[in-house]
Structure formats: structure tokens, C-alpha cells
Homo-oligomer: A and B are copies of this chain.
Amino acid sequence: MTEEQLFKNRHSLSHIMTMAVLELYPDAGLGVGPVIDNGFYQDYDLPESISDELLPKIQKRMREIIKQGIEFKKYEMDFDKALDQYKDDPYKTELITDLKAAGEASLSFYKSDWFENLCKGPHVDTTKEIDVVSFKLTKIAGAYWRGDEKNKMLTRIYGVAFANKEDLKAHLKMLEEAKRRDHRKLGKDLDLFLFSEKVGPGLPLWTPKGTALRNVLDDFVWKLRKQRGYEKVEIPHVTKKDLYETSGHWEKFKDDLFRFKTREGHEFAMKPMNCPHHTQIFDRHPHSYRDMPQRYANSTMVYRDEQTGELHGLSRVRCITQDDAHAFVRHSQVSEEMLKIWEIIEIFYKAVGFEDLKVELSFHDPNESEKYLGGPEVWETAENALREIVKSKGVEAEEKPGEAAFYGPKIDFIAKDAIGRTWQVATIQMDMNMPERFDLNCIDENGEKERVVMIHAAIMGSIERFLSIIIEHHAGAFPLWMSPVQVRIASVGESHTDATLKLVNELSMQGIRAEADVSDATVGAKIRNAAKSKTPYTIIFGDKEKEGEDFQIRVFGSEEGVVVAQGDLVKHIQEKVLEQQG
């Protein structure tokens, strides 16, 4: 089925749903009813609140209507006639008035059987085009008329629809699976992070295990960066607004910043990005061409004044940890430096379980040049440089105009997770504008100033968002190298407690993330608890282990265990970690 046909099906299903609803509530007011990802919705002004239990009834009636083979017919109406016809309907009146003000020539309506609705279309010609078992009504939610909380709260009914029953089933299974993997639930079950009423929404706090997970990932990125000449820097989390006036962030993003006045009346902001701070470190003294590139890495938090309704677990937060890095390079070094970052991305994403990343070129939109810093030549140069780099890697990359950062074009990397969802993950950005605005130079071979280029290169991007992806991708069962606890040692009885604790301590001092289970529980319960915690390795420590016999490692998710001599455990884990890290 074509995308166009699927769009029509979904759109028409929305009208058919409304027919079923109007049979139940003839006086229901109609809000908007668009096609969305995987389906559709429609907002209703109903005389009473309804629950999910009503959905099967509506769905059943929809199938009956579809089977009637109803035709959809389009017709036009002029504004005055429409306003008169719908003068008792405040929703239609508002929509028609707005369309008129927007300068539309006329209005289009769709008629299906007895139901007529203001609608741009397109729709199916006949409901015969729709498979009656290709859709499902999924949920009811509240939604303000036109998204404004000052308006009336309407009842929104959501549905999903696909080409056929199989596609629908696959989607519903994916949703089920996504629910099971929900990082908010797993975060609590695995004791990784929490939210506190007193601290506020969008502000996750990290437990010892969650912090270990963050740091393992961040340390691995750092290891890959260090090998490629990066150095760590550190910056304050606030600044006078002057920094962002120079960078252009103030003008573009002022409303998204946490801003405040100091007691002396100076205007400050919490940093929403780290690049402007890093320019100040680069610019602390002149750099000879011999000292280029300068590469700064800095995992640090940035802040966004997100609306509460937009927040979601770790995916969208107010306090974002970025594994940020900026390379200040000569023009002649752009390609080599970008390829180094690309290498890091390949190694890192393979290690975390994403083998094949799709590549996109996010370019500026020449029709909206006012959204970007710098002139057309600067953008052409930068975008051509990115095209060349992608070409040299022999990779297919879709070009996406309008997706660039406001200061430069990007190479974006897209990962597909275990249940088929895609996520934009790493990004490499080429920036010729910040160096211009901050007047950043190096001294070339002839003693002349040369304008440098900045490369922005976060690998995980937001560590919080990245963790939401990776927790769900692995359903919380992390590979050995990244698991917050790598090995759990469970004592058999009281007489093994001390030796168990001693072993955990020794492992820990040798850099292995180990934890003890010396509770009163039975060995069976301890094994079940270890599996529940999804710890990669579990060792039961009893008399034989106390006597020095080989460890029998239970490996999570595998029927087969591993046997290692006691003295080889650390080495075994270290080697496995290096192997998994590639």
C-alpha cells in the first residue's frame, strides 16, 4: 500500500469514527481530527466523560459503517455561506474565521453518507478501500481546544491504522514491547534513577547504579577521545548574557533559557550549550598553526526551560548532561578531524549494540535563511565539505534541508533499536559562524591570522536521552561492559558471608563492578533475584568456592554457564569487556 493510500485510510477512519460517535452523542462538538504517526485522532466536545470501555463499541460500529461501502465526496463552499450554516457551532465558526483571515480562496467539505465535515482531505473514494481489521482505537485523553489551556478541555480518541491486519498486529506488539521496556519503569525496577516531588519534574536524580552506568559510558567515550588527542576542560554553569549575545543564542533561544538577575542586577543565564564557553578557553592566548587542532572534551550539564507537559522520563528533561566536545581546527584539517569523530561514533555505537547507523546530512533551508547565522557562501562551503566527507566514507546519506543547527550543517547518525524504532543519536557539526562571531584565529605559517573552524562533536548527545534509548533497546539487560553491576556474588549460607564480602571488595578494588547478596534468602531465591536484576554474571559462593574451586558463572540470558579459575575471574571479565568494546 502506498503512503498516500495509508494517509487517506487513516484520515477517512477519523471521519468514520466521528459518525459512530455522533450516533451515540448527536450534539457532540467537533474539534480537530488529523492524521498522525501510525494513525489518527479526533477531538470531541461531549456532554459527559467517557472511558476506554466505550472504545470496542465505537470500533464495532465503525466496522459496520465501513462494510456499507460508503462514498466520500468533496465539495466547496464559500465563507459567508459556511459561517451562516455553522453559526451555532463555535468550533467550526472559529476554524472558518481563521481560514478566511489566512486568505484561503474557499472551503472544502467532505460528505460521507449523512455526515458532512469541513476538511482539506484527501480521503478514500469509498470505505471499500479500507480493511475492516486494519485499525484499532487505542486510548482516550483530554486535550484543550487548539492546545491552549485557557480553552475548554475536549475528549480526544486515538486510533492506529495500517495497511492490513498483519501490520496492525506488528505495531501493537511493538507497543506492547515498548511498554514492557519503558525506561521509566525499568529505571525504577533496576534502581537507576528517580524523580523527587521536592526537586521537581524533568530533574532526574541518579542512584549509585545509575551513576555507574552513566560513568561507564562517559568513560568509554573519553577513552576513545583521548586516543584521538582530546583534552578535558571544565566550565562554570552560568554566564553573563554577554556571552550569548555574541554567540547569537540570546536572540534565538532567550525564552528557552533559565534566566535570572543577580543581587547586583546583572543578567545571567544557565548555560543551554557549551560551545560559547569553550570559545573563551580557546581564545585565552594565541595559537600557532603548530598547536592546531585544539580539542576540548567536557561532559557537563546544560539547562532548558522546558514546559512541564513536554517532559517525558529521561527523554526530555530540564537538566541535560552532554558528553560534549569541540575541536578548533584549520580549514585544511576539517575532514581528518571529522573522520576521527566518525570513527569514535562507529566504535561506540557498535559497542552499545547499534551496528548499522543510518547517515543524514542536515542542511540549512535556503528559503529560510533568516533562521541561520552567516551568509550563503559560508553555508555552501560547509555543506560541500560534509558531502565530501560522507562520500569519502562511501556511505549513502539523505540530505535534509532545514535540519541544520542555526550555526552550521550536521552529519546526523540514526540508530534503529531492538523493536524497530529509529532514533537520531550522534551528530558531527561543522561551524564557521561561532569562530566568526568570537573572532577565533590561529597564526599561520606566514605569521598571519587565519580564521579557524569549530567542530561540535557530542557522541551520546544528551546522556539522559541516550540512556532512555539504550535502557529500552536492551530492556535493561546490559552487556557486561556497561552493566552498572557486572557480577553478583551470592552467599549460600551464613558461614560464607565474610568470604563473599571479601571477594566483592577485592573485585571492586580491581575495577570490577561487583555486589554481594548475603541476605537470609534461599539459594533459589537468590538466583531468581539475580535474574530479576538482569545482572550479567552471578556466582553462587558456597563451601566449594570457599575451598578455592573454580567459579561457576551463571550468565544472564544464556543457558550455558562459564567456568573460570578463581584467580582468573578479573582477567576474564576485563578481556570480555575489551572484546565487547571492540
Residues of A near any B CB (own CB < 8 A): 191, 194, 196-200, 203-208, 210-212, 214-215, 226-227, 231-240, 242-243, 246, 255, 258-260, 262-264, 266, 268, 270, 276-277, 280-281, 284-285, 290, 296, 301, 303, 305, 307-308, 317-319, 321, 508-509, 519
Q: Are A301 and B236 in contact (CB under 8 A)?
A: yes
A208 surroundings in chain B (CB, below 8 A)? 231-233, 296
Q: Which of B210, B238, B301 contacts A203 (CB 8 A)?
A: B238
Given A260-B258, A305-B263, A508-B226, are A281 and B207 neighbors across the interface (CB < 8 Å)? yes
Least Cβ–Cβ distance between A344 and chain B, in angstroms:
16
Q: Are A240 and B200 in contact (CB under 8 A)?
A: yes
Q: Are B260 and A205 in contact (CB under 8 A)?
A: no
Q: Are B280 and A242 in contact (CB under 8 A)?
A: no
Q: Are B236 and A277 in contact (CB under 8 A)?
A: no
Least Cβ–Cβ distance between A396 and chain B, in angstroms:
35
Q: Are B237 and A237 in contact (CB under 8 A)?
A: yes
Least Cβ–Cβ distance between A333 and chain B, in angstroms:
16
For chain A, what secondary structure do more than half of its interface residues adopt (helix, strand, loop), or is it mixed? mixed
Q: Are B308 and A264 in contact (CB under 8 A)?
A: yes
Pairs A–B under 8 Å by Cβ, sample size 9: A204-B236, A205-B233, A205-B236, A205-B281, A211-B232, A227-B509, A255-B263, A258-B260, A259-B260
Q: Are A270 and B238 in contact (CB under 8 A)?
A: yes
Q: Which of B210, B234, B235, B319 contacts A238 (CB 8 A)?
A: B319
3 A-B pairs closest in CB distance: A208-B231, A236-B319, A260-B260
Q: Are A196 and B263 in contact (CB under 8 A)?
A: no
A211 surroundings in chain B (CB, below 8 A)? 231-234
A198 surroundings in chain B (CB, below 8 A)? 239-240, 242-243, 246, 276, 280
Q: Are B508 and A240 in contact (CB under 8 A)?
A: no
Besides A205-B284, A262-B305, 15 new A-B residue pairs in contact (Cβ under 8 A), listed by A number: A191-B284, A198-B239, A198-B240, A198-B276, A198-B280, A199-B240, A203-B236, A206-B281, A207-B233, A226-B509, A236-B301, A236-B319, A237-B301, A237-B303, A263-B307
CA distance A215 to B299 in the complex (A): 13
CA distance A264 to B200 in the complex (A): 13
CA distance A266 to B296 in the complex (A): 35
Closest B residue to A209 by beta carbon equals B231
